Structure 1
Amino acid sequence: MRLRRSRGSDRAVILQAASVCLSYPDDDVLAMMPLLDAALTEQPDGDAASCQLREFVAYVRETDPMPLRQQYIDTFDLSRKHTLYLTYWSAGDTRRRGAMLGEFKQRYRDGGFLVDLRGELPDHLPIVLEFAARVDPRAGTDLLTEHRQALELLRLSLIEQQSRYAQVVGAVCTTLPGVSPTDRQAVMAMRDAPTPIETVGLEPFDPRLLPITPSPVAPESMSRAR
């Protein structure tokens, strides 16, 4: 089967499905898996992103909830190597990150995206994906493209961990222009590649910038696909 890239409304379905898949797998998220499977099944044959997401959705539907939740916590909440906060990849624990987070909030305001983050930061990938899927496709795609290196580094880190979530991030990357790099060296060679993550000592680390304490539930503020 020849795989092709998602376009137009197809991309919106992919990004919204990825947003749900990258959210904490509480009961509400798990209940949406049949709906996601149905929506992805309607995508054109050979679509690379939908193929990856359907495999992930099938895995979730076949796995008990408790292991899924522990896996999510271990992968995203307890390790900065797989953080879903996009600006951390390029700004680390620096003052510059605050300005970058402000840019995300401004993009949301410009697009009329009214969301109560409730403890999450505006660069949290599921939130960015929902913005791109349901509110402002152009501005959302711009944000994802501007942080393409972060997405690719996250994808590679998840592949190294042999995490199923690599399929989801890979599907997102497939919707963006160009071909995904095959290794970190190639990612760092991309234009405007991020500097390596580091703490520069400008001020004490603020844990609110990167929550690493497991949360028992996913943010209720995100609107769900219907």
Structure 2
Amino acid sequence: MSPLPATVPAIVRTRIRAAVHRPSRLARLSRQEAEDRSLVFRLLSLLLQYPDSELTLHRTELTDRVRSLNPSSTAGHLADFVTWFTSQDPQVLERHYVEVFDLRRKSSLYLTYYLHGDTRRRGMALLTLANRYKAAGWDIDGGELPDHLPVVLEFAALAGPGAGEAPLRQHCRGLDLIHRSLQAVDSPYHHLVAALLTLLPPPTEADEEAVAKLAAEGPPNEEVGLDPYGAYGHGEFAPPDAFVPPLPAPPTSRTKGLR
């Protein structure tokens, strides 16, 4: 399968680049299989970014890449998404993205939130993730936090199976909750998360119980000196029909420097 054309990586706003190329491939994957898997992660990273004018300009090109994938459940979910994505007015896409990802905590794309909530541990988790990127020879040159799902997906695409995908496996329960939340509001974006979940180990019974508890109770909470956002500003999850902005990561001197 041919790689993405040169014009497509230019729209990756996460701007993760390789300072040292040290691929890590699982022994069971052939070189072609690893490259195909990397392409899927890169497509997911692109399609889960905010649908600005630059991204929507390349919708046809992205759709062609999706439809060139070998038949699989992963490819099927991607095809279902791009069918919707290419049929919508750009303003509709922008509004829908903000509603499901920026204004709903249960489908926020910041993965450490589901594991650590609004606690000081989240700041340390962000620092650990950033250090993982650097240790693998990758650097972040952009405005997003290292736990933003498109960033994590781009790292998986560039670093390869194994260590590159470890952050996704670590946050599989949060990803499961995002998928459930998107399904609950009938968002076509659930196809993208469903495609991602097909590439990760299946959930265990303990995973299922943990996700159910997380959906009911929300992640851990702790006061960290941040101003609350309305009635749902202290870490609890809002009802399905309530739109509230997610709290940012606890500020630290190290995470402020991730630019």
TM-score interval w.r.t. the shorter chain?
A: 0.7 to 0.9
1:55 deviates by: 1.3
Cα distance between partner residues in 2 of 1:92 and 1:174: 26
Q: Which of 119, 128, 140 pairs up with 2:152?
A: 128
Give the structure-2-normalised TM-score.
Answer: 0.69
Alpha-carbon contact 1:132-1:141 (below 8 Å) kept: yes
Alpha-carbon contact 1:85-1:124 (below 8 Å) kept: yes
Q: Which of 197, 214, 219 pairs up with 1:197?
A: 219
- The one-letter code of the counterpart of 2:110 is Y
Equivalent residue for 1:213?
none
Q: Which of 67, 70, 73 pairs up with 1:41?
A: 67
Q: In the alignment, does 2:249 pair up with 1:209?
A: yes
Equivalent residue for 1:177?
201
TM-superposition CA deviations, 1:101-131 (whole Å, max 9, x none): 011101110122222231x210000000011
Q: In the alignment, does 2:60 pair up with 1:26?
A: no
1:87 deviates by: 0.3
1:36 deviates by: 2.0
Alpha-carbon contact 1:60-1:68 (below 8 Å) kept: yes
1:197 deviates by: 1.3
Count of equivalent residues: 197
Q: In the alignment, does 2:92 pair up with 1:70?
A: no
Bigger mean CA deviation after superposition, 7-16 or 85-94: 7-16
1:175 deviates by: 0.7
1:186 deviates by: 1.8
Equivalent residue for 1:216?
none
Equivalent residue for 2:43?
17
Q: In the alignment, does 2:102 pair up with 1:86?
A: no
Alpha-carbon contact 2:34-2:160 (below 8 Å) kept: no
Q: Which of 101, 106, 109 pairs up with 2:131?
A: 106
Specify the SS of the correspondent of 1:200. coil
- The one-letter code of the counterpart of 2:91 is M
Q: Structure 1 184/74 Cα, relative in aligned 2: closer, same or farther at 3 Å? A: farther
Specify the SS of the correspondent of 1:62. coil
Identify unmatched segments of 5+ residues in structure 1.
1-6, 211-220, 222-226
Equivalent residue for 1:140?
164
In terms of Rg, which structure is larger? 2
TM-superposition CA deviations, 1:87-110 (whole Å, max 9, x none): 000100000001110111011101
Cα distance between partner residues in 2 of 1:74 and 1:53: 21
Cα distance between partner residues in 2 of 1:143 and 1:27: 30
Q: In the alignment, does 2:85 pair up with 1:60?
A: yes
1:204 deviates by: 2.0
Cα distance between partner residues in 2 of 1:136 and 1:111: 11
1:134 deviates by: 2.0
Q: In the alignment, does 2:168 pair up with 1:168?
A: no
Query: How high is the sequence identity, in percent, across the aligned residues?
Result: 34
Alpha-carbon contact 1:105-1:122 (below 8 Å) kept: yes
Give the structure-1-normalised TM-score.
Answer: 0.79
Identify unmatched segments of 5+ residues in structure 2.
1-32, 228-246, 251-258
Equivalent residue for 1:155?
179
Q: Structure 1 14/117 Cα, relative in aligned 2: closer, same or farther at 3 Å? A: same
Cα distance between partner residues in 2 of 1:125 and 1:184: 23
Cα distance between partner residues in 2 of 1:57 and 1:113: 29
Q: Structure 1 35/135 Cα, relative in aligned 2: closer, same or farther at 3 Å? A: farther
1:184 deviates by: 10
TM-superposition CA deviations, 1:118-177 (whole Å, max 9, x none): 1x2100000000110123432221110011111111111111111111100110111112
1:30 deviates by: 1.2
Please tell me the root mean square deviation across aligned C-alpha atoms, in Å: 2.5
